[in-house]
Amino acid sequence: MTAPIVDAGGIKITEGDRRYAALCRGHDPGRCAGPDYVRLVSDSAQVRHALEQAVNEPVADPARARIAVRSGGHCHQDRVCAEDVRVVIDMSLMDGVHHDPAMDAICVEAGATGGDLRKRLWLKTGKVMPGGSCPAAEIGGHVPAGGFGPLSRQHGLAVDYLYAVEVAVVGRDRRARLVTATRDSRDERLRELWWAHTGGGGGNFGIATRFWFRDLPDAPEQVLFTAGGWKWPAVDKERFARIIGNFGRFFAEHRRPGGPYDPLSAVLRLTHRSQGEIGLVAQIDAGVPGARDLLARFLTAMNEGVGVQCRSLGESCGEYPASIGPHAPVVLPWDTVERMFGPVDAMRAGKHKSAYMVRPLPDEQIEALWRGLAEDDPGAERDAVVQIDAYGGAINRPAPGETAVMQRSSILRLQHQVHWPVTERGEEHLRWIRELYRSMYASTGGVPLPACMQDDPVTDGCCVGHPDADLNDPEWNASDAPWWRLYYGRDYRRLQRVKERWDPLDVFRHAQSVRLP
């Protein structure tokens, strides 16, 4: 076993160390890197030192020159696990969470996970960050992408509470330094750096080391939780369209903040027919007035025209072959539901795509979904789902431009996913999801255009937290919208100015990084 080097830059791990292989692998086991070394850093000073050393050491192969930052390793593309990466700076050991009296805010280090927040934020203070649903995902990647989670319709995105961020940046002199940017910084350049971290994506401007949050909401004491669905063999095309339409219409009606349904979170899981059933999951803060009645009305709306009506939440659903019916809701502690979302199967690779909707899915998109999910090769077995998350509510409180998250009028967020055994190349599964996605958005060049590019908007671009390299490829993106417009809309030029000021040497780069102007 190779002995690691421990110095001012933290723990330096090279090939031969027992930890090297694990630290080079992402959450998706199909993505692995082979860097010269991995740096495990424990505090901001070590990050600064490790970064400056990496920037200034000689590079033998220009094709392998990139410095990458690994937070939770949940990135769905090769921003860290790639052949051109020479150095990985891993934030896993920076997992502290504490109240900072000087900032009058909760300080969260970039390597803290959702599980860490449960232990060190919720258990200690009763407060909650309203983003995230996976306990293994780390804050360093999640927050700069916006921070969406099951409590977001009720309380907004995580970035809506971000007061300050500490970032290790590299100047033209190739020296690294730590800067702290707040939302009320007197220096406009610092204020813009803070803004860029409210949805501008990770790995673009520097290494975010610590985040400070103010006025975080209280966690619900309990939630009403229900899960159910519809058996695929009994779902015909008309019922399929009705289920999707009901979901979209309900959240279109309740898109504006301040309504009684803000505390309701719901997920419609449109699985491939080989998976047996279409799923529906919903929860609502049990402490809000009329919570049980609100949830009952939502479930009734979801079943309208499908062929079954829930008579009441205390009784079983009406017998009908099209539905197994949503289960009667159970009252659970809030953190029980949060912990239900575990890591993916470590033996399955995958591909993810995304879209935001400002209107319910139109007929042509539902038709494309039916063809891809129901009329696929009868013998095909696909671990695939198009997951539709309810959006809107408190998420839509901020005006566009207040944060770098452009989607502040959406009603739904879609995640298109397919997984396959890591022992396989997955080419046929990749073809399938790419063609499904392209056919869904065929009228706009195969991608969901941002609302700012449409006279009568239907979609609103893609989620930077679910990066998709296909957006760079004209075979799959035949629209007039480059990848950066799909993520950032009109805000991209503003992000470029932040990039020019804080990363003038383009140290932090990848296939979809913000480009220097």
In a domain, 508, yes or no: no
Looking at residue 407, its pLDDT comes to 96
What letter does residue 56 receive in the DSSP assignment? H
> Quick one: 150 and 266 in the same domain?
no
Looking at residue 137, its pLDDT comes to 72
In a domain, 396, yes or no: yes
Mean pLDDT per segment of 10 residues, for the chain of length 517 residues?
A: 83 92 75 87 98 95 90 64 88 95 96 86 90 73 91 96 98 98 97 97 94 96 89 92 97 97 96 93 94 93 75 33 52 65 62 97 98 91 96 95 96 96 89 98 98 96 94 97 97 98 96 95
In a domain, 246, yes or no: yes
Contact call for residues 105 and 162 (beta carbons, < 8 A): no
> Quick one: 462 and 340 in the same domain?
yes
Distance of CA 279 to the CA centre of its chain: 20
> Quick one: 144 and 261 in the same domain?
no
Distance of CA 14 to the CA centre of its chain: 31
Looking at residue 311, its pLDDT comes to 31
> Quick one: 326 and 468 in the same domain?
yes
Provide the domain limits for residue 46. Answer: 5-90
In a domain, 503, yes or no: no
In a domain, 344, yes or no: yes
CA 267/CA 417 separation, integer angstroms: 14
Contact call for residues 197 and 140 (beta carbons, < 8 A): no
> Quick one: 193 and 50 in the same domain?
no
> Quick one: 405 and 288 in the same domain?
yes
In a domain, 63, yes or no: yes
CA 477/CA 462 separation, integer angstroms: 12
> Quick one: 171 and 200 in the same domain?
yes
> Quick one: 298 and 203 in the same domain?
no
CA 310/CA 353 separation, integer angstroms: 34
Q: What is the DSSP string of 87-117?
A: EEEE-TT---EEEETTTTEEEEETT-BHHHH
Looking at residue 328, its pLDDT comes to 65
- Domain boundary residue among 90, 125, 156? 90
> Quick one: 453 and 342 in the same domain?
yes
Looking at residue 140, its pLDDT comes to 83
- Domain boundary residue among 56, 90, 124? 90
In a domain, 184, yes or no: yes
CA 479/CA 500 separation, integer angstroms: 27
What's the CATH code of the domain at 51? 3.30.465.10
Provide the residue type at 126 as one letter.
G
CA 365/CA 439 separation, integer angstroms: 8
**How many domains are contained in the chain?**
3
Contact call for residues 450 and 460 (beta carbons, < 8 A): yes
| Alpha-helical regions (H) of 197-236 | none
Looking at residue 28, its pLDDT comes to 66
Looking at residue 24, its pLDDT comes to 83
> Quick one: 399 and 323 in the same domain?
yes
In a domain, 496, yes or no: no
Looking at residue 325, its pLDDT comes to 45
What's the CATH code of the domain at 388? 3.40.462.20
- Domain boundary residue among 30, 63, 90? 90
Looking at residue 355, its pLDDT comes to 98
Looking at residue 313, its pLDDT comes to 30
Between the two ends of the chain, the Cα-to-Cα distance in Å is: 46
**Alpha carbons within 13 A on the beta-carbon side of 491:** 26
Looking at residue 342, its pLDDT comes to 45
> Quick one: 44 and 130 in the same domain?
no
Contact call for residues 241 and 189 (beta carbons, < 8 A): no
> Quick one: 71 and 129 in the same domain?
no
Looking at residue 345, its pLDDT comes to 53
